[in-house]
Amino acid sequence: MGQETVLTASKIANPGPLGLAGFGLTTVVLSCVNAGLLPPEAVAAVVPLAFAYGGIAQLIAGVLEFKAGNTFGMVAFTSYGLFWWWFALMKWTVGAGWLKAPPAIGVAVVLLMWGALTFLLWIVTFRLSKAVWSIFLLLWITFFFLACGDFGYLIGSLSCTRIGGYLGLITGIDAILVAFIEVLNATAGRIVLSPGKPFLRN
């Protein structure tokens, strides 16, 4: 017999933590503006961050999830990566004077639709880890509050935008922590911190 060749499959890295980190970090910074913790002028720091990390990192993660056969990860990371590109392009083109600033109601409708999409994706996450489920739960609520803020609604003396900012801050921190858990477990080669079993089994 000829010499038998043994092929060892190369280990594939999980792109999820990259997408979660890009989403989480960018969300935290913008949410600090929405919550009033940073001045409105700080949006100028968010725009390049949204392009470079919130956008590109999630697009890369989405493509890698596609190659791994993860439909949910592909749709989620690609979608939210392009959400950050929408946000950054809107602020950039308006700031440069290339486009007129859109009316608040126009932005509100966009945010409302993102909230609806996120709500539908949240339903899917009942079959994923509780950690991912929590991110999408917080995110669709955040989108709806931000949309209500642009519609001009108040809760007491607080604008819905400010409330949405605080919710977004919690959402971003949650995403960063879940990314940390996944990196920690992957590096250790075992479950050090559990992301939580799904509510529903496939």
Amino acid 157: pLDDT = 84
Splitting the chain (202 residues) into consecutive groups of 10 residues, what average pLDDT does each group show? 46 94 98 98 97 98 97 98 98 96 97 98 98 98 98 92 98 98 97 97 78
Closest CA to 24 of 150, 112, 131, 158: 131
Amino acid 201: pLDDT = 87
Strand partners, 155: 158
CA distance 75 to 122: 12
Amino acid 1: pLDDT = 40
Structure tokens at 146: 């931000």
200 within a domain of the structure (yes/no)? no
3-state secondary structure string across the chain: CCCCCCCCCCCCCCCHHHHHHHHHHHHHHHHHHHCCCCCHHHHHHHHHHHHHHHHHHHHHHHHHHHHHCCHHHHHHHHHHHHHHHHHHHHHHHHHCCCCCCCCHHHHHHHHHHHHHHHHHHHHHHHHCCHHHHHHHHHHHHHHHHHHHHHHCCEECCEEHHHHHHHHHHHHHHHHHHHHHHHHHHHHHCCCCCCCCCCCCCC
7 within a domain of the structure (yes/no)? no
3 within a domain of the structure (yes/no)? no
Q: Which range marks the domain in which residue 171 is found?
A: 16-188
129 within a domain of the structure (yes/no)? yes
Structure tokens at 126: 């009942």
How many separate domains does the chain show?
Answer: 1
Structure tokens at 202: 């496939």
197 within a domain of the structure (yes/no)? no
145 within a domain of the structure (yes/no)? yes
Amino acid 87: pLDDT = 98
Structure tokens at 137: 């739960």
CA distance 117 to 180: 26
11 within a domain of the structure (yes/no)? no
CA distance 180 to 174: 10
6 within a domain of the structure (yes/no)? no
Amino acid 43: pLDDT = 97
CA distance 49 to 186: 26
Amino acid 5: pLDDT = 44
